[in-house]
Structures are given as structure tokens and as C-alpha cells.
Structure 1
């Protein structure tokens, strides 16, 4: 990694002296042997945007707020004043609260209640109790108990003052409402019933100008709800008892008739049961099993018969008979046949075919074959008899099974009706049993009905008003003021004409978007301290230049990866049209100073030099000679510089021995004073000097501040327009394009500097 002490060869003479002395007077440079006054150096930080703090979306938002801080503060103070005025004039309101627990558990006073207690786990039913508490039926009880219809707060009389009379003349006055209805409506507005989320706890809050009255009303609302719930249960139990008494006689007669019909139907259809099932169904199951067994045996006998017949027809050798045909006799004959066959084979190799011994052996073989065939015929006859018996048995069982199926079918058809009758009997008996049990319990349940809720926090007299809430009103005033101020700041910033992205520049100017160069933030503590110290010297900040060049040279540096990569991408895009073996000249220019043209030109040239190319950096910014002041510090103050031809330019060119980068400080000879013939000679000398280099980078500076740099446009192959994010305006860009109207064909595109990481 390149340390800060590892600087280019020309650095100690130029940069270190500038950083130590704060500012260095530029040498006097004379074009065409004419002396000009020395030019003061400019502040280097203004031209090196990569050293600005890294900007993020949050920092950009904060910068907008900082620019409009005054209007935001004034708006916030105004809304806070309105909030304080409201607090000073609003009447206090007191709120009392009580808490109910809606018990979801089933409370059984008797074994089987008529009116179900509890609400189970259905929160929707619990939520419905919130609406019941605020219903007119409950509130009417509260109005009657506390006589709120006579309270002016809840049933105010119609106004009889002058203002009310004038209002009645303009708007027809409606008829006076009933005091009780008016009180119920007022109480409903001052009542708030809410349930804690996913719980069975309900809070009841009532508001009044009197704290004592608020507590009394809250307690009265809870008492009225509990009483309403209890009376509703008692009335339900009473109605159920009356209905059950009228229904019991009918249910008894209904059970008797259902049992009689079921019994008569079973007798008529001969439906018999045994061991928990129908007799004909059990017989059908048994026959199915026997039929399966008979079919399996018939198939087995048929297969054996087929094997025997096949063996007889094919005249199979005893060695190839299937195992199913190998009885004891056949097995012995096969053994004899094997012995005689082996003997026959042995004799064939020793005796003539007509030898008596061989003839005897052959007769034995034939005899054994005939015995085996006779045994097979006997086996075939036996297998045929067995197969016939199995088939007859199968047919008999199948016929019996079909008859049983018909009987079961008729029984099943009858059972459909029987099941209906039995279900009717069962239902009638169960209904009668339930009604008898309910009838015995209703008398007890009517007198012991209880509510499914209880008070867990009684109402108490509030000791401080609930409205208006001072902190809430002030918070609303503060937040609304801040919100309006921030919205105003964002709108004003949106109307700002300065460019902030390459896409915006492309839409407004139509230029190609070459690169977005991000901010470069130093990561090392020594670099940050050096920047802090040199920023107070008031001169050129040469230490910042050291960090910039070090970041470009050190490929392992993680803090400047985006900056270094953006320069390399810009370089590759510019060299697309370069013809190999010929020098390529790029001019960088901006609309106004401070866009970072010098820093971009230096970074581009230095990055190309590190790649092994011969690079010449031309400082043509007469209004801002900081590059020449730093890197051409070896030129003495009394040194006369001549710019007539190539040799004159080469004599003032400085070269960095480490990177090979060369600098031509023609900015020291104020180009603004050049005549046309002088500029032509300078262009000719620069063209001749460029033949020695692969890449020539010209820093033309801010053309709207100093258009003398535009005189070098004829020597450039490509011109790059540099804009700074948040500073350069669309108007300045269009004015600069108008200044370069004759060189539109050379415009390669635009580079945006000082962008955040999102634009980089």
C-alpha cells in the first residue's frame, strides 16, 4: 500500500512547500516573450470535490433542512402559538372510568341450563357486549336513575339570548326534543366503551365537566348493564319453561306411536337378528367364503388336469415332466429310466447298433416309457374326476349364494324404512328426556340467574382533567409546524434548477452520460487530521491532493474503490474512438468554477499514466492556476516562459518520474491576454508536442467564467463537459453548450462529480 510519504517525484518540490506555507505565489510566465503579472493561487479545496464529506440520502435530506432552517423554525413557532392559545381558552373536561371483565367461562348453576351462560372463545360475541353497554336500553336506565333529563349539561334548554334569537331568524329552529331523548344522546356522546385487544376486559369511560358526576355516571352505566343482563336471562328462562310445559304431553304420545310402527314393520318383513346382526347377512358372508374356496380348488384341479393332458399329448420325456405329475411310481420309473439311459449311452460308444446287449437295453427303455405313460393316464383320469367334482361344488354354492343375495336385497330394502322408524323412535325418546330434564331445572334456574360480567375496577373521582391534553396539543402544534416547514423545504428544493443526476442532465441537454464520479472520503486518521489542519491555512490544500493521488495509485484501498473505478470507466469510454498509434486529446470543461474540472482532469491523467501510457496534462485554466501552482512549483518566479513553439512548451513541461505523468502549466501565462495569432501558435506548438504522448488531457476550466480555455478546442479530439451535483444548473449547462456550438461534433458527453454512492 502506498503511504502518504510515497509521493510522485515532482511532489516534494511543489506540494509539500504549498502545504507548509499555505499559499505559493505563481511564477511570472510570459507568452511570446512578454511578461505578465503573477496570478494569485486559488483555494485548492474548491476544485477537488473528491475530498468533500461523503453524501448519503440522509445527509442530503439534512442539508435541505439546514438550507431552510429559518422558515421551518418560524412555522413551528407559529403553530405552537396557536396550540397555546387553544389551551388557554378550552374548558376542562373530566373522565371517569371503570373496568368490566366479560367472563367467557361457562357457569352452570344446574347441570343443563336453558339460558346458556358465558360467551366461549368467540371474541365477536364479546365485542357485541361493547355495543350493548352503549345501547339506548342501558342508557335509558342510567338517565332514569340519575335524572339526567333534568341536568342542563345533558339536556340543555334551548337558548333564549339575543344570539339564539338572531340565529333562529336565519335558520328555522327545530321543535324542542324530548328531554329524556336529548339526555340519552348527550350521554352517548360522552360515553366511550372499548375492549382491550384480544382480551375480555372492557373499559367504560364517561366524561363530564364535574369529576364527581363523571364517576357517578360511569358506575351507573355498569350497574345498568349488569341488571339488564340478569333480567334478560330470567325472562328467557321463564319463556322456555312455559313452552316446555305445553310440549311434554305431545312428546310422550309421539314416542309411543313411533315404537309401535317400528315393531309392526319388523314383524311384517321378517327381519330377524342374531348376535348383533341380521341372520341372512351372516349366511351371505359364510357363502361368499365357501364360494371363494370352491373356486380356488376348481382352478387348482383344472391346472393339474391341463398339465397331465399336455404331457400326454406332447409325449414328454420323463426328465421334463412337471413336478405336479411326479407321483411316487413316476419318480421310481424316472430313476430306472435314468439308469437304463446312461447304460444305453455307454454301450453306444462300445457296441454296434445291432448288438444283442444294446438291443436289450433299448427294449428296457421302451418298457419304462410305456409304464410312465400308463401312470400318466391314470393320473389324468383321477384329475379329471376331481376337477368335475370341484366344478359341481362351485355351481351349487354359487346358486345358493344368488338366492341368499336376493333375500338380503329384499331385507336391505326393508331396512331403509326400518332405520327411519328407529331413528324417529330414538329422536323422540331423546327429545322427551331432554324436555323432562329441562322442566325439572327451570324452576331453580329462574331464581338464580347471574350476569356474565363483573366489575374489576370501580369508578373513582378523577383528580385531573382529561381534556384538553396539554402534551398532545403541544405535540400536534410542534409536529404540524415541523411537517409544514419540512414539506415547504422539500418543495422549494424540488424547484431548484441545479442538476443532481446524469439522467436529469441527459433529459435536459441530450448529452451522452459518460460517468458519475462519487465523493471520495478519506478513511485514515492521519489523512483526516492533515485535511483538518491544512483547511485552516487559507491557501492551496496540497495534503488533500496527496490523498487523492494515493487513492488512485493504491488499487487495494477500499475507501476509494468507487472513485477509482469511475475514473477508469470514464477513461475506457473516451478511448473507444481512439485510433491506435496516434495521440488522443481530451478537453475537460465546466460551466462555472468549483465543478471539479481540475480534479477530474488530474485523476483521469494520473490513472492513465499508471496504466503505462505517456500522458500530458495541460493546465489551461487562467482564472484558477492551482494545478500549475502546485505541480510547477520548480519554475522560478523570475523565470521567463516562452510559448511560441514546441520547444518552448517542452521546456516548461514537468514530469513525474514514478508515474510518467507530464504537466504543461500554460495557465501561468494568462491566456485571456492572448491575441488570435498567439493562440494559433500555441495550438500549433501543442499539436507538435502531443505527438510524443499517447493521451493529452486539457483542463479548460469554467468557460462561463473564463472562456479563454475554449481557444484550445481545435486541438482536442473529444470535449467532456463537467457538472457538479447540486451546484451546476441546467441554465449554465445550456449556456456552455451555446458557447461550444461550433464544436458540437467533438462533444463526447457529460461527467457528473460529487455524487453520492447511488449515482456513482
Structure 2
């Protein structure tokens, strides 16, 4: 069944099953399965957190006042008419990032704000006179009393709006560049959409008007300055020209086309020298190619191949062309005859001799052409030398010219510069004069703003999306923290990983009535009969519900004890837990009932001397028990109680006074002899022991018990507590057969044990006739 299968798989943590799990742990499927189980475990916290966050978003949307944002776009760098650009006095540089940022600051300046406030008479506007922006006044909307700013200053001072009104206006005004364009978008926020559109349009108009006024004033000042400057430049240019003419007449300087005759001669000789040098270089290169070709052996084929490198003289020569064709024809015939009759045949030798004759003829023709080329090179060299001599003489004559020519050049340069400057200023003056009569700015409004139809803040969809998604994210985070902080045992894998011992069984939480079963108890019953007439239903469940998960889980415990390879004998079985109220007594009673019902001789001994809960539930009227038998006051037969339904024997503990040294009692030799008698009389001895943590009594029973079973409560017992309890009791740890995960919520196990979620399906039990309870 389920517990048997779990036992078999859990006993293989280091074998093939463990390796298979390691291979699958890193898969995407395991990650998805973990996420699903995590959501199934913590869905309630995630849902509650998301609901609270959504409710907070709705409350914010309900309390936050609506804000409408009107936009207007302004274009910088408006293209002017061509005639206006020619007449413009001021330069028109392309807008860069710094200039656009400057325009943005001008738009958001206090001067622009003051002009708009004065134009629209907004100095006493209630919205601008608020102490805080409307989006930050939620607390004031929740409170019945609204604190107002003390009006200790007049809203206007000498016709100007107050600083507070201007600051409030600028807080609602924003301007940004659209992408990488020259378009600026101006925004203004207001609770009234119509007022927002009017104000943002007024801001754009005020900015355009300010740009226009600035340019008009700059043009007017430039025109006035240019007029005075032109008068001075005209007089200076006229004086300089008169000085040039007088100096020429005085020194009798003659020039052609504004240049001296010596300069013209030097320029002409430089051009002729450059052409002569180029011709000389070409002749030298041709002669070099001829000499290289003549240096080869005429008998070899390199002479024929090198003809193409000489140039057009060799390729256009009719003699060389005819000789070369005949040479190539003989080469072809030589190759054919050599292939047919061999290289040493007389016909081949004759053809080869004729080839040599043609090769010598070509060589002689090349020598003739080389001589012609040498003559051309010598002639070009002589011409170059003559031109160089003429140029040197001209330069020498030019240097000997008196300083009068330099003086006239300086005078002409100064006169020309003044004349050009005068023409430039005259053109600027005409343009400035025309600009005053045609005022225009490069800034214009692309499209005026209209009253917005929808509010800009708060954005309903964005706030709701942020609330829902933020709530889900916060819920997942809180759920993850809660899941990580959940340091209790919930799966068998946790037990194996934390305690390094196998989990024998998952015992489900019983949901049976808490009453008693068996023959009704009568007041006149004789305690000496020692019959268990009233057994709690929870202790009788393994007998009353044999086809239940609970009974199958107890069978898994017994099977694990019987097949424990650690010890030869597992006759005495100790049932303990780390803390009280974990269900160890129920497990011990159910295990003993199951063993007795199977026909084995079984006895259950209550060794919890300080809190004998098993005795209180099975034999509350017992007059003698474990202590009396060990001390010799009563015989074993006089203290044992029996269950007539399962033939189970029970040795109770009778408390007749406070027991202080319980560990010494359990370590006594008499208790050891008593357990030897029980070993001899019964097949199984089930011992209900106290918990490990509060007491040390369990450690005293280590010599008496063959093996121990540790009961752990599902979802309650802390991992650290059990680890500490086993660490302080090493002898008990060594004798542990395994652990039992008690009071397990089977339906919830699928949410925690994702790898084995299919094992917890009721259909597996129903198929074999078992019930889910």
C-alpha cells in the first residue's frame, strides 16, 4: 500500500532511486511542479495580499482628485522665406542640445509664468493659492478640517504676482523635447480641463511673443550701430584707395591684370618646368625598359615575352610585329615536330635554328629603337636644364626688385579689405533695415491645445494594474518567506534529509468519535478481573477500521520493525516522541492492537511514569502496575490487564504519589528482570515511553528496548527540536528503526510533496477496497 511503497523507496536514498531524483531535480518539469505546489500551499496569503493591495488602489482612486493635462507643441527653427534669410542680420545656427535646453528653461522661467499669470489674472486663483498640490492633499481630504496657509503676504506686490503663486504655477508647468526633434511639448496640469488648455496656450503665445520682441529689439540696436560703422568705413576705404593711386603715380609702377610682370614670368616658367620634368621622366622610364630588355639573352624566349613591357613603340612597330609572328609560328611548329619525331630530329633542329635567326633580328630592331629612345631622353634633359636656368634668372631678378612693390601690395591689400568690409556692412545694414519692417521668429505653435477629455492623473488602469500586480508580487514574497520559515516536518523527504533516518509510515489524522468502545463500564465491576472493558475509539481504530489508511499505516510500522536488518531481535519496541502530545501513545496502542489481532502474543507496557496517559485511558481503576511488580509487591499476573476482543495484554502504571527519580526506577535491576520475563512470555513487547525533550527517562530504557520508533507530528513538530532531542540521546538515535509522521493531513500532502503527489490519491486505496479515512 501507500506506506509500504514509501518505505521501500525511502530506504534507497543512496541507490538508484536517489540518483534518479537528482537527475530530475534540475528539470523544468520539477520547477513547474514546485511552483504549482507552492501556489497550492500559499494561495490564501497571496490572494489576501492581492485583495488588500487592490482595495488600497481603489481607495486611492476614490480619494485622489482628478488632474487634467493640456498639451501644446512648439516648433523651434521655423524655416524663413529666402529673401528674409538673405536680409537677416543675426546668424541662424542649427539647434543643438544645449540650445534646446536653454529654450526649455526659458519656457519654464519665472518671467514667462509672471506674464501668463498677469495676462489671465490668476493671482487670486484658488487652485494656485493652495498650500500643497492636489495630489498630495489626500490626508486633508480624509480629515474634516483643512489647514490653510496663513496669508501673511499680499497676492500681488507692485503689480506682480506673489512668489508662492509663481512657484505653484511652475510646479504644474512642464516642458520636454519630443525625441530628437526641434519640437517642444508644453504641459500644464489643472483640475479644470478648460483652464488647463487656456493656460498652456497662453504660455506658448507668451514664449513666441518674447522671442519676437527679443529679435526685434536686437535688430533695432544692430541697425543703429551699423549706420555709424558704415560712415567710418566709407571714409577709411576712400582714403586707402587714394593712397594707392598716389604711390603708383609717384613710383611709376606698371602691372598687367593687377600683377607684376616678374610674377607673371615666374608663373609661366614654373608651368614650363613642370611639363619638361614630366617629359624627361617619361623618356628615362622608356630608356630603362629598353636597356633591361637588351640585357637579356637573344637566344632565350624572355626577349619575346619582354616586348610587351617596352610600351607602344614595340607593339606598334610593323617590323617587330612581323618578326614576332614568324617567331611564334616557328615555335608552334617546333613543338609539333618535337612531339612527333623528337627534339633531336633534323627537321626540329632546322626549325630551331630559324627561330634563333628571327630572335636575333628582333634583338637588332630593339637596339635600334633603344638608340632613338636615348636620343629623346638626352633632348628632354637638355630642355629641362635650359628652363631651370631661365627660372633661376627670373627669380634672381624678382628678388632684386626694390621695396616699392611690397609697399604698393600692402596699400592695395588694406584698401581692398576696407572696401570689402564696407560692402559687407552695407549689405547687413540693408538687411537689418528690412528686418525691422518684417518681424518674424523661428518659433511657432504647431497646434493649439484643446481641453482634455480624460484625466491624466491618477491613471486608473495603471494604478489598478500596479495594485494588483504589486499585491501579487508582495503576496508571493510574503508567502515565500512564510514557506521558508515553516520549519516543521511535512514530508518524508524532510525527515530523511534532516534526521538521516527512514520514515516508516505516514499516519493520517483520525476523524473518528472520541468516545470509548467495548462493554459499558459498570460501577460494580471488580478491578481484580483486570479486563479492558472501555477502550477509546482512537485506540480501537486499527481494529474497528481494518480497511482504512490509518490501519494500513500501522501495518507499515510493524512491517518495518519485523524487517529491520540492524538487530537480530526486535521483540521489545519503544515508542517515543520529541515533545508531548504528538500521538505516540495512540501509535503504541494501535500497533499493539494490530499485533495482538494478528494472533501474536503482545503486551503493551506504559513506561511514562510521570504522565501515564495510556493507563488513564485503558485502565483508570488499576490498583497495581509496573512499579509494584518491579518492587515485588505484586506478581506480574496480578497487574496485567487484558483486552477480550484482541487478547492484548496491558501493564499499567499506578501513581500513588509523586515520582521524582523516575530515571533511577527505570534503570533498576528489577525493571530489567521484569522485561526479561516479558520477553520470555510474549512475542512482542510494545513500550509507551515518555517524550525525549522534557525528560531523560527514555535514555534510561535504552538497555531494555531492542528498537525505538520516533513519532513526529505533521505540521507541528519543529525540525530543530527533533534534531536537538536526538543529538542529546545518541543511544536512542543508534537504535531507531525509523520515524512515523503522525496526524498527517493526506489531502494537504499533495501540496507539499510534489514528487509523490499521485500517491496520495484516494483512487489507489478504493481500488483495493480501502477507505480514505
TM-score with structure 2 setting the length? 0.42
- Higher relative contact order by CA 8 Å / sep ≥ 6: 1 or 2? 1
TM-score with structure 1 setting the length? 0.43
